[in-house]
Structure 1
Amino acid sequence: MGAMTNSAVVLADAAAYAAAVEEAAQAAAAYYATGESTLDDDAYDRLVRGIAGYEQEHPQEVLANSPTGKVAGGAATGDVPHTVPMLSLDNVFSAEQFVTWTASLERRIGRPVAAWSVEPKLDGLAVAARYRAGRLEQLITRGDGTAGEDVSHAIGTVVGLPGELAEPVTIEMRGEILMTNEQFDRANTVRTEHGGAPFANPRNGAAGTLRAKDRAYTVEMTFFAYGALPLPDSGELTDTLAELPHSEVLAYVAGLGVHTAADTDVAPRTVTTVEEVQSRVEEVAALRASLPFGIDGIVIKADLAADQREAGSGTRAPRWAIAYKLPAVEKVTRLLGVEWNVGRTGIIAPRAVLEPVEIDGSTVSYATLHNPADITRRDLRLGDRVMVYKAGDIIPRIEAPVAHLRTGDEKPIEFPEACPQCGSEIDTSEQRWRCVRGRSCRLVASVSYAAGRDQLDIEGLGATRVVQLVDAGLVTDFADLFTLERDQLLGLERMGETSTDNLLAAIETARTQPLSRVFCALGVRGTGRSMSRRIARYFADMDRIRTADEEELQRVDGIGKEKATGVVAELVELAPLIEKLVAAGVNMTEPGATPPPAPGEEGERTADAAADGAGGLPLDGMTVVVTGAMTGALEKLSRNEMNELIERAGGKSSSSVSKRTTLLVAGEKAGSKRTKAEDLGIRIAAPDEFAELLAGFLPSEV
């Protein structure tokens, strides 16, 4: 094949996105099964970048089988479970945001943070390296945070990750695999010598190399450790690591012979004040351009183990650490045109078409434009030279036109007079323009979202199948899924009896999903899985949600006046769809939740209180942590399903053990959480015991 470009594949709509995901999934399956993909490395990378770009602009439309997983650079979710989740980090982008975050952390732990560790945020791929008795046995990607891919085949190509430690300890190193600038140059030289296309940038080079098997050549990478934790059989080391400050953990890791950033110009530094943190951030930022490897920010962590334990972790990120993102790289290019795309909820969003420009190692051809008012405010014109930057180093955005470079040939940007998707009228009453048909304008995306894993979880109903149903006139909204008949499905291409029966069974199961999932499937703007759960727990049934006014909605944690106004308006718009769901027999109640009191009977009540006050629920007022592999009746439940089970039974789920924990459900290979629970005197239950306690709340198929 000829030379390939480094730009991402452009995915214009949900159907193109679904087809790209399917193509990438097939290529990945072939790659890992035989070592020979149906796509070459560059084509696969371009496809995955296109998928990732589409998902960044349309996060509600992400498909369950997307190859992007949770790791940047295309690393896919795997099947090797992590002993402790590999979480992401929340971000701040300014000194003011960082100060606000530190104040929030110190309020949470009830005291000033004793010390801070300031270290580079390396631009690579997070991995876990497991050593047993001092010997490196397994290398695992972060994947989705709970499980990752086994990439142990790459062990011999990673500098800084010794095959044997200085001591025969059992331990897991966590860190970042990347290509240094020198390694990147060498990698591209050897790839082109073997007829391959060069990598687009060091991060994608590391991602592709980490996955690669049976190549005719070797590409070297580098590992930097940013932490360590015990494995279930680590013995006394478990207690040692649990009490060491983060800075001493890094020193211990370096002493074992594992590479850290300690010998670089941006070595981790321990400081005691916010002012010292800011000073170090400025130093690292100034060194960024001269470093022999890429960084995209600075990571700031509470150094003491006690502060970390007290702060705990959320479902996505630890509360004791933050990523301070550095200012993005900026480039000037030409604005060639504007595309108008319609989102899942009918929002019409402009996207800038740019003269391709290289920014931080990747080709940028498109940029976000926010809304028509933003275009007018900045006086953008076709043909303008514009300053483009990558917000958060991910999503390209136009900062401003370079007015002094105008020639007089620039032309005004024309706004659409009708919906570019369906031709209907446009509601221009708000800054974000919207097709008057709303969700029905982007039917495929809306139905695919509703059927997704975190909503109705209808297995076998991917975007490709939804397109079939829409094209056949069988589905005009996702409520129509519940009235599909067997003969209708059998009439579709590639729908045999088995696949038809399986899909109908999955739809029947979806009919009984709790209200929180049904509400999430509606796609009300500003509400996702967690917010939908809080709303469902507070109101207990759909009728009460629909009749709630703005004031009552604001009693739900996380809903302010503006969001409450939006929810009320959208529920009015969604009334016909909700009525269809009710008529189809879809469940409209939240198990274990009790309805709120009548107006005037009680001043305040939170969503948690709605469950905690449910009276007679087995987990009333309890905080429950689940760890290890579940067995018996709980074996098939995902962690998200376990959390939902706990909340239906009146409890609160948590990801970390602390003095606030009431119960630990400990499965096989429970590890350090069980040890910590024992030390704190926390009640521990086996999976079978926990299943018996919650027998009345388990899904019927379990």
Structure 2
Amino acid sequence: MTTSPAVSAAAAPAAAVTDATAYAEAVQTAAQAAAAYYATGESTLDDDTYDRLVRGIAAYEQAHPDEISADSPTGKVAGGAAVGDVPHTIPMLSLDNVFSAEQLAAWAASVERRIGRPVEVWSVEPKLDGLAIAARYEKGRLTRLVTRGDGSAGEDVSHAIGTVVGLPDELTEPVTLEVRGEVLMTNEQFEAANTVRTGHGGAPFANPRNGAAGTLRAKDRAYTVQMTFFGYGALALPDSEADLAQRLGEWPHSQVMRYVADLGVHTADSTAVAPRTLTTVDEIQARIDEIGAARPELPFGIDGIVVKADAAADQAAAGSGSRAPRWAIAYKLPAVEKVTTLLDVEWNVGRTGIIAPRAVLEPVEIDGSTVTYATLHNPSDITRRDLRLGDRVMVYKAGDIIPRIEAPVAHLRTGDEKPIAFPDACPQCGSDIDTSEQRWRCVRGRNCHLVASVSYAAGRDQLDIEGLGATRVVQLVDAGLVGDIADLFTLTREQLLELDRMGATSTDNLLAAIETARTRPLSRVFCALGVRGTGRSMSRRIARHFATMEHVRAADVEALQQVDGIGAEKARTVVAELAELAPLIDRLTAAGVNMSEPGATPPVAGPAADGEDGKEGTGQGVEQSRTTGPLDGMTVVVTGAMTGALEKLSRNQMNELIERAGGKSSSSVSKRTSLLVAGEGAGSKRAKADELGTRIAAPDEFAAMVADFLDTQA
């Protein structure tokens, strides 16, 4: 709710406001939601619902200008529900919104028409999803924090000084100025805040943004939690030094922000979505796409991208309205959070024996897809979040990220909610549960879900054993012929012929498929093991990095962290899993299963691999010899139906092919994409590639490029 609600169009449909009664009800609902949000951080509506409601109000007002209510949110600065008593020296305005490339281009053209000349430089930066504040420094000392309020005056929240990371108590220069920016909670701070808050008997925050809004205003709590500040502007105060005031008034926005960072204030410059200065609308749109693609991996929330005319002269010429500047706009991204109802919790047993809770939700549309299930991580997570059946919950989903429940919206509880029942025995086999770690596990481990484990290993993206479906695996397990995947490679023709519905032809075909499975690359074999914390992509990265199973097994936690995407916690899990799987790996090796990755070379010792004076090193200097090929250094995206030589390859096999040929596979088109392989039915990704000028290849052309590697595709 931090941008101005007055917009002319939107990506999602506006709420229907059809008559005067509906209009009055909509205005009241919006006003109550905004008041709750800006007072306590606890709104009754999620951002997308609020935005659609306000767009409906705006549409009604456009058709009935004589009926506009004084309480309408369309004419107010976002945050106006929380009026303060500290005047702003310069109004602290909101931003108007656009939702598409066409609207962005139209807005940029309108700015240039208004100032009577082209805008030579635009500034593009992430729109942080938090609470806007002004931080006032006097002679380099932080003296006051003020919220946006109604844009003219805000609340004094100086009691929060010392709890906001990125706002130093003292600047590197003894200057007097005001820094404006956004206070938010990073994902890590949000988790820590809810742990502390629930530990003191409070209800968990619904999401990081609400957590920051509530915490910033809280006084006299028995606990403190940290927040983070991101500066996005600076201006002179009445007592500022004359030369500083002149510089801040004349410098481009980008130069002002470099100065702010040099003073020691935190900005987005050090993040993966750092501000950029660009010269064309096409470049701006490409950067918007890059930031949008990076959004799911960011350690903090963003809900859009801010585009500004960079030059101070352009900003002055464009001017400002009563609600928003005319030289800046917020390009809103699709909502990734919605409120829905927690209907049930399912307890599923994975192939390694992990007992995982899964939330069953009232279906809700988020980021272009219908979400019915969400992850709940583990039982302690449920307890810490104080989740109950029937709760209204905040659900987060972005891109391909698995939907997750942030927290219950506790202030919406009715009293009819019920506790979630935890299993006291394994839901799969009835055995005891090992509850010694956060993730509960059946004491039988992989043996609990043997059929699922073997079926997974035989799947198309693992060992790809044709004819070994779940029904056949059940038959083999029930007959006592298979106790793990290594037993598959010891099956004999005589054993199989004794099974029901196993004739000579089907037996010979299955044995041939098993024989072929012995030759699969290490990446497939490693994936078939079902190591916790890894999947198809991670298995490929591990195999490409270490080249042989021997090197993988010899790697310690530090060495595993050299693999892209593996942090300390995951590295420890992989090391522990490989130790547990050691007997199985030994049996697979003895059965003649391939344990190397074609085209990859083992790590070579770098400068830090061996200690000085002959002392043993840490392994931190291990380097990976790079694979070269026709796709060396290229980022490749595949879309549409493949034909010809590529027709029978799964997406996972296509990704393997790309990486063997020296490239990097990706699922989305961006400015970094080198090549798009576009098959039949290619849609939005092809259009995006055309827009960015990305090279596009048909399946046959791509097959010719990687012919040498295609011949060895397993």
Give the TM bin, normalised by the shorter chain: 0.3 to 0.5
Of the two, which has the highest radius of gyration?
A: 2
- What is the TM-score with the length of structure 1 in the denominator? 0.47
- What is the TM-score with the length of structure 2 in the denominator? 0.46
